[in-house]
Amino acid sequence: MSLRYSLGRMEDQVLGNPAIEAELIPRANAPARAGLKLLAAEEVMPRLVVAVNAYFEQNIDRGTAAGVDGAFGMTGGLSYALVPHLLQVGGEGQLGEAQYGQSSYTLVAAMGPNVVLHRGPVALTATVLADLAPIRVGLEPKLTAALTF
């Protein structure tokens, strides 16, 4: 669950369309997490959007064996509107550091494709990131639903 506040009332009112997002991440068999993101995206050419996001997240309950289990970094992406105001395809990358339940931080590096269905106030994003750092090689699928009001 997340709550997003846009610094502009309408798209392109502020350069980069900056927004702040706070999220609560419930997890099965693991402590819930809280996160904060700073988001920016801009259409650099017709149908072509560039996005950059900074993120920070950690466990809400620090009294577990994992402790804070913090993560921070940047994500960036490029997407193209195949069907304007409906379907975008693109790719994104992530670079940062995370504790993964350890006391020290380790490199996070991932990249992969994404698809966005957007109609009116509803957006559905599907992303599959391939972990590139040696400590966690694998795929991480993500599905995000958003409602703007």
- Residues 96-105 have pLDDT tens digits of 999 888 888 9
Contact 49, 78 (CB under 8 A): yes
Looking at the chain, the number of H-run helices and the number of E-run strands are 0, 9
How many domains does the chain contain in total?
1
**pLDDT of 148 above 80:** no
The pLDDT of 57-64, averaged and rounded, is 82
DSSP 7: S
Domain limits at 99? 2-147
| Cα-based torsion angle of the residue sequence 147, 73, 130, 52 in order, rounded to the nearest 10 degrees | 50
Flag whether the pTM goes above 0.95: no
pLDDT of residue 67: 77
pLDDT for position 61 = 80
Task: Provide the token pair at 111.
Answer: 């990249």
**CB-facing half-sphere around the CA of 8: CA atoms within 13 A:** 13
Average pLDDT over residues 12-29: 84
Among 35-49, 56-70, 108-122, which stretch is predicted with the lowest mean pLDDT? 56-70
Q: What is the dihedral of CA 68, 61, 3, 91, to 10 degrees?
A: 40
Task: Please write the tens of the pLDDT for every residue from 80-122.
Answer: 999 998 999 999 999 999 988 888 899 999 999 999 998 877 8
> Distance between CA 145 and CA 149 in Å, rounded?
13
Distance CA 106, CA 54 (A): 17
CA distance 144 to 24: 13
